[in-house]
Amino acid sequence: MSVENGHVPTNKKKTQVTASPERRRELLDTAAEVFAAQGYNATTVRKIADAAGMLAGSLYYHFDSKESMLDEILSAFLNELWEGYDTVLAAGLGPRETIEALVTESFREIDRHRAAVAIYQKESRHLSAQPRFHYLSDSQVKFEKAWLGTLERGVAAKVFRADLDIRLTYRFVRDTVWVAASWYRPGGQHSPEEIARQYLSMVLDGIALRP
């Protein structure tokens, strides 16, 4: 299954992408953690370097700029996310099963890329204004198409309620899932699958007890 819009961050200048990719990954993970905790703008390159046990200037051996670290973090996350989503969407499931699979896949992503997701939540809106981050908007559009489409199929198939504003429902489901990144801690009580199950139960059947 090929990822249609797999985004590869542009590496305009000289930087040794050659040098050990594991080190890059480590550094990016560190950076993501700090970005998520303090916000991208509030994070200084020095803080990242501190967390990585090196000096600020040394990061520039590995990366072009602070922005390109952010870029790589977000791209990597979105690429993985779409790999999962595309698989689900191509599987030809019914609307309810599709929603269930997407939600489960989402919580798995949150589990794997918590920091990236948190960053995405906080920064994506004002980043998408910059050309370099247009792919965020693209992803957003594709995302909306997938979810809205599935919901509409579901309404048509009388699987989902017809009396609700469909865009409101979309936002409801979407937000409901992704905000979880703001409090989720990997290795906690519940597995991503278990959380997904409970979320789905709430979203689909509500929290009120049926008579």
Partner DNA sequence: GATGAATGAGGCTTCATTCAT
Partner DNA sequence: GATGAATGAAGCCTCATTCAT
Task: Give residues in contact with DNA (CB under 7 A).
Answer: 16, 18-20, 23, 43-46, 54-58, 60-62, 64-67
Cα–Cα distance for residue pair 144/150, rounded to 1 Å: 10
Is the Cα dihedral 185, 187, 193, 199 positive or negative?
negative
Smallest distance, Å, CB 122 to DNA?
A: 16
Q: How buried is 195 (Cβ within 10 angstroms: 0-12 exposed, 13-18 middle, 19+ buried)?
A: buried
**Three-state secondary structure along 42-90?**
CCCHHHHHHHHCCCHHHHHHHCCCHHHHHHHHHHHHHHHHHHHHHHHHC
In the structure encoding, which two tokens stand for residue 38, read together? 């303090």
Smallest distance, Å, CB 169 to DNA?
A: 39
Smallest distance, Å, CB 42 to a copy of itself?
A: 5
Q: How buried is 102 (Cβ within 10 angstroms: 0-12 exposed, 13-18 middle, 19+ buried)?
A: buried
Cα–Cα distance for residue pair 199/153, rounded to 1 Å: 21
Taking CB under 8 A as the rule, which mask of x and - marks residues 139-158 in contact with a copy of itself?
Answer: -------------------x
Residue 8 vs 164, nearer CB to a copy of itself: 164
| Contact range with a copy of itself by CB under 8 A, out of 23-31, 39-47, 64-72, 78-86 | 39-47
Smallest distance, Å, CB 51 to DNA?
A: 13
25 touches a copy of itself (CB under 8 A): no
Question: Which residues sit at the interface with a copy of itself, rule CB under 8 A?
Answer: 14, 37-39, 41-42, 46, 96, 122-123, 125-126, 158-165, 168-169, 171-173, 175-176, 179-180, 182-183, 189-190, 195, 198-199, 201-209
